[in-house]
Amino acid sequence: MSENVRVRFAPSPTGPLHMGGVRTALYNYLFAKKHNGTFVLRIEDTDQTRYVANAEQYIIDALEWCNIPFDEGPGKNEKFGPYRQSERKDLYKQYAEELLAKGWAYYAFDTPEGLDALRKEHEAEGKTFIYNWHNRAKGKLVNSLVLSEEEVQEKINAGEKYVVRFKTPQDETLILQDEVRGTIKIDTNTLDDKVLFKSDGMPTYHLANIVDDHLMQISHVIRGEEWLPSLPLHTLLYQAFGWEAPKFAHLSLILKPVGKGKLSKRDGDKLGFPVFPLEYTNEKTGDVSRGYKEDGYFSDAFINMLALLGWNPGTEQELFSLEELIEAFDLARVSKSGAKFSPDKTKWFNQQYLQQKSEEELTDLFLPILESNGVTSNTDFVQKVVSLIKERAVFVQDFWELSNFFFQDPTEYDAKASKKQWKETTPALMEELVTIIEGIEDFSVENAQNDIKGWITSKEIGFGKVMQPLRLSLVGKLAGPDLFEIMNMIGKEATITRIKNAIANLG
Ligand code: GLU
């Protein structure tokens, strides 16, 4: 791509960023990095009624956690700033005026009640009211297409509320190009004359979005499919201003894991998975929503999963580092249809990433968990434990459950397993085993294994008869890694104590 790639993520700070929003940001990021371009964060906060104070920081923190930081945005490389639309508010009026002067827009003074009445009138006749070429100049509506210039000026001077509407051209077929969806044809007669600017001095999303994309020299607009209906208007706005339009790519929805439709916050609550990257506290209600981070997901696993939710590399490869994603990403391979989210697959990704992490890193993450369980242990020991148990873990927080017996003697024994494995003959066998263990000079994994297995073989009994009760004694249940490894880790003395404890407890 020879042009200078500049993309933007343009969220409205109305609440926490849903994982669909994170995916949009991610695809923008990958596309920018792939083409040595710039990833811009713009905060679209023109709708003050929906503004949520902690949302912007949440968005920034979420991008940070996901390791997909923006290159330009609020407080960072403000070359094209400010990047908050509320701070750019004085800039939009002149553009609305330009369109008015060029005849691409008009003033409309219709009151909400007046429009409501018209809507009802149409409904009564089984029609839908659309503010556009059908009726905009027919006298029922109060706008500068029917009023004289003087009348318009009088109304404005008198402080009457107005909006500026786009004058959608009539009888045209728009041929739109979308990088994901291909060619889309639209009859302009089906479009309504959208509001661009309001008398409170605020632009609407459409005007601010187009003006900013132009001023910030955005080359590609990559956004969610919910904005596809705005594409005709946006394309026309570029025409009206005489600006070159960026390329557009609309991403399909993320779908519920079961059933049909868009993945919603409620699906997460219902099915028990987070839909937000970070935990979020609603400032008004105090409600807390779960986050992938707090649920114990690695951000790189989460990002890998999201990347493949709506894009495919064209190969069987599933595990991608961020660098590999950047290398492989291509808008042409973004899917036109919705992608079904799978909580299980997300766990699978986490498990895969956990296995790839270094034992040092996992140990660092595990140490505070141990501490919160009242365990202090040396780092080398913990690292060895991690190496023995990690393959059974999906999350670092599974480690404690998988390894507590390395750090403390079992205090109870799984009832079902005890009933099945702890037979009448077991105590005598275990007493004998203690003697064997006492006799092992060098308590290495190999020595213990040789001596104990040799003893079992010489007794001509099944291995299970000894090994299962031994496991119960050391672990408290029939789980855990190799028993000889466990014995070696806890040492000869603790091994003997635990066997004796089990005999005392289980009879
Ligand atoms: N502010 C819009 C949003 O909240 C941006 C849409 C766009 O990217 O054009 O998603």
Pair (273, 307) in one structural domain: yes
Q: How far is the CA of 223 from the centre of ligand 1 (A)?
A: 7
- The answer as to whether 393 is a domain residue is yes
Kindly indicate the confidence band of residue 3, based on its pLDDT and cuts at 50, 70 and 90.
confident
Q: Name which residue sits closest to atom 2 of ligand 1, judged by CA.
A: 11
- The answer as to whether 84 is a domain residue is no
- The answer as to whether 443 is a domain residue is yes
- Residue 270 has what pLDDT? 84
Pair (175, 100) in one structural domain: yes
Distance CA 179, CA 247 (A): 7
Known active-site residue 340: no
For residue 310, give its domain range: 265-349
Residues with CB under 6 A from ligand 1: 10-12, 44, 205, 209, 223, 227
pLDDT at 448 > cutoff 90: yes
CB 142 within 8 A of CB 114: yes
Locate 323 and state its tokens.
Answer: 């660098």
Q: What is the mean pLDDT of the chain?
A: 96
Q: Quick one: which atom of ligand 1 is closest to the CA of 230? A: 9
Pair (115, 67) in one structural domain: no
Pair (94, 188) in one structural domain: yes
Domain CATH code at residue 323: 1.10.1160.10
- The answer as to whether 79 is a domain residue is no
Q: How far is the CA of 246 from the centre of ligand 1 (A)?
A: 15
- The answer as to whether 318 is a domain residue is yes
pLDDT at 265 > cutoff 90: no
First to last CA, the chain: 76
Pair (173, 146) in one structural domain: yes
| Catalytic pick among 93, 265, 340, 500 | 265
pLDDT at 324 > cutoff 60: yes
Task: Using most ligand atoms within 8 A of CB, pick from 7, 19, 44 the residue to mutate for ligand 1.
Answer: 44
pLDDT at 69 > cutoff 70: yes
Pair (96, 163) in one structural domain: yes
Pair (389, 451) in one structural domain: no
Pair (329, 278) in one structural domain: yes
- The answer as to whether 80 is a domain residue is no
- Residue 40 has what pLDDT? 98
Domains identified in the chain, total number: 5
Pair (501, 472) in one structural domain: yes
Pair (371, 396) in one structural domain: yes
- DSSP-derived secondary structure for 398-421: GHHHHHHHHHS--SS--HHHHHHH
- Residue 355 has what pLDDT? 98
Q: How far is the CA of 445 from the centre of ligand 1 (A)?
A: 60
Distance CA 488, CA 366 (A): 21
Distance CA 228, CA 241 (A): 20
Distance CA 89, CA 73 (A): 16
pLDDT at 2 > cutoff 60: no
- Residue 102 has what pLDDT? 97
- Residue 137 has what pLDDT? 86
Q: Quick one: which atom of ligand 1 is closest to the CA of 44? A: 1
Q: Name which residue sits closest to atom 6 of ligand 1, judged by CA.
A: 10
* pTM reported for the whole predicted model: 0.93
What is the chain's Cα-based Rg? 33
CB 419 within 8 A of CB 471: no
Domain CATH code at residue 216: 3.40.50.620
Regarding beta strands 247-251 and 220-224, do their DSSP bridges make them parallel or antiparallel, or are they unpaired? parallel
Percent of the chain exceeding pLDDT 90 equals 93
Kindly state the average pLDDT of the residues 79-107. 96
Q: How far is the CA of 172 from the centre of ligand 1 (A)?
A: 26
Q: Name which residue sits closest to atom 3 of ligand 1, judged by CA.
A: 11
- The answer as to whether 225 is a domain residue is yes
Length, in residues, of the chain: 507
CB 50 within 8 A of CB 12: yes
Q: Quick one: which atom of ligand 1 is closest to the CA of 12? A: 4
- Residue 417 has what pLDDT? 96
- The answer as to whether 81 is a domain residue is no
- Residue 1 has what pLDDT? 58
pLDDT at 424 > cutoff 80: yes
Q: Quick one: which atom of ligand 1 is closest to the CA of 209? A: 9
Pair (182, 126) in one structural domain: yes
Kindly state the average pLDDT of the residues 263-276. 89
Strand ranges (E), 79-118: 105-108
User: Phi, psi (5° rounding) for residue 68?
Assistant: -125, 60
Q: How far is the CA of 300 from the centre of ligand 1 (A)?
A: 25
